Amino acid sequence: MKYLLLPLFFLCFSLVASSQSRNNLSVVYGMNANLVDIHGAIGDFGYVAEDGKSIGINYTRNFTHVFSFETGLFYSTNNIRLSTIHGPRGDFYYDGVVKMISVPLYARLTFFKYLFAQGGLILDHQTNYAPYGVVNDQSGIGFEMGFGGKCNFGPISIFINPYFCRHALNGRNNLIEAGAKTGIGYNF
């Protein structure tokens, strides 16, 4: 029985060793600074820059050495602080959190073997929206763009990816993020 399994093992090993990795599945963690764009709004309010975090799974499909497509599933929390002016009593602050599930759809261009630029659309759904919350609903379509570096160690890859993101392009008071994501993945 051992002798029958040995050729099968060598066949599978040779296929894996000789094939080029076209897929990557990564676990990703990110941190950001965020603010809310109130351009064009009228009133005595504003937003203070806060922070956020995200975690998710990223899938990359390589079509050529230069062009790839990325998608995935991410969960993020963004702290928001709304400030209002109330005359002689001073400013009042209202804290809130925007929790979202996002599906990115990016194109990625790789150059100089270790560097890449990516950008595309994000489909967002805010999971904790309340009609009288500190910010409008961030569900909808947004965009993200970024650049980064990656390095492969056999089937394992690591990357870091600074990015800029804007959510809810179809609404008002858009959440804007600037941060960095890092991840570790498996090439197959």
Residue 18 has pLDDT above 70, yes or no: no
Q: Is residue 116 part of a domain?
A: yes
134 phi/psi in degrees, rounded to 5: -80, -10
Name the amino acid, one letter, at 42. Answer: I
Q: Is residue 160 part of a domain?
A: yes
CA 7, 13, 15, 17 dihedral sign is negative
Residue 152 has pLDDT above 80, yes or no: yes
Beta strands in 11-155 (DSSP E): 23-37, 45-48, 50-62, 67-85, 91-111, 115-126, 140-153
Q: Decide: 26 and 161 in contact? Cβ < 8 Å.
A: no
What's the pTM? 0.83
Output DSSP code: residue 88. G
CA dist., res. 121 & res. 145, Å (int) = 9
Q: Is residue 12 part of a domain?
A: no
- The number of domains in the chain is 1
Domain residue limits at 41: 21-187
Helices (H), the chain: 2-18
Q: Is residue 73 part of a domain?
A: yes
Q: What tens digit of pLDDT does each residue of 58-102 get? A: 999 999 999 999 999 999 999 999 888 776 777 788 899 999 999
59: CATH? 2.40.160.20
Q: What tens digit of pLDDT does each residue of 163-177 get? A: 999 999 987 789 999
Q: Is residue 7 part of a domain?
A: no
